[in-house]
Amino acid sequence: MHRKALLEALAEELPPGTIRFSSKLASIATEKAQGSPEIAVLRLDDGTVIRSKVLMGCDGVHSVVSQWLGLSEPASSGRSAVRGLAVYPDGHGLKKELRQFLSEGLRAGMVPISDTDVYWFLVNNTVPAEQEAGTDPAKILREGGCSALEDAVVLARALSRAATPADGVASYVAERRGRAAWLVAGAYLSGWVQQGGTNVRGVRGVVSVAVKLRMDVLLLNIRDLYVVLLVDDVSFMLVGNALCPELAPG
């Protein structure tokens, strides 16, 4: 699904002005509020000041919120990636399936997201010396959007049931900790396999293998299942259904 279409669908359900796009966070502070615990004070680069009882850091690997909290810097994943969107005004004529090509130190793939748009990516194991960027586990598993929706459902429910924001956040963390651990473990396994950790015989140099992952395989009703199959010289990874109960079909 095109990210723009998803954002528009979600934004349409909210009052105008609820979401601030193209906003850069300049600083974070706290202040005492009358009759309530400390609140977060956010200052944007355009001078806007936002006060909030709850602040969630969802601003990527190089998170300003994480830095303010004093969390450790992200570790290098050992690889760099380029991705983009190819647009075919007259249609691309491709089947709606993910195509992934694996080689030692190199991975590429593409998947149609509409009749005219094709998402593509290229991953190399060598990270440029001038840019050592950490990698979000959800991105490795292509789970970023799904896990964000799960987070939103669980967080909203936890805050609505809690007596205080702190209690709500604590409940959210307790419920999501296990799921996050599975994402990290699955990302490690996925990265290990795709970066040649299995040392599969025959996959060398520029030799590439196309791996088809059908949607019915991705939607298997198996929660958080990661299976690695070694068939001859090809490594296949099947990713089970990762939907939380609130989002799972039927």
pLDDT tens-place string over residues 159-215: 999 988 889 989 999 999 888 888 777 777 766 666 655 554 544 333 333 333 333
Give the domain ranges of the chain. 54-239
pLDDT at 40 over 70: yes
Measured between alpha carbons, how far is 154 from 172 in angstroms, rounded to an integer? 6
Please give the distance of CA 167 from its chain centroid, rounded to a whole number.
Answer: 26
pLDDT at 7: 85
Ranking 10-19, 71-80, 135-144, 228-237 by mean pLDDT, the lowest is 228-237
The amino acid present at 65, given as its one-letter code, is V
pLDDT digits (tens, 9 = 90+) for 7-27: 888 889 888 888 888 888 888
Q: Is 15 exposed, middle or buried (0-12, 13-18, 19+ CB in 10 A)?
A: exposed
pTM of the model: 0.61
pLDDT at 199: 54
- Residues 105-110: contacts with CB within 8 Å, 24+ apart? 105/195, 105/196, 106/206, 106/208, 107/194, 108/208, 110/86
pLDDT at 217 over 50: no
Measured between alpha carbons, how far is 223 from 146 in angstroms, rounded to an integer? 14
pLDDT at 91: 92
pLDDT at 118: 93
Q: What is the mean pLDDT of residues 141-168?
A: 84
Q: Which helix (H) or strand (E) holds 80?
A: strand 80-87
pLDDT digits (tens, 9 = 90+) for 88-142: 999 999 988 888 887 777 788 899 988 999 999 988 876 544 443 344 444 555 6
pLDDT at 53 over 80: yes
Please give the distance of CA 126 from its chain centroid, rounded to a whole number.
Answer: 21
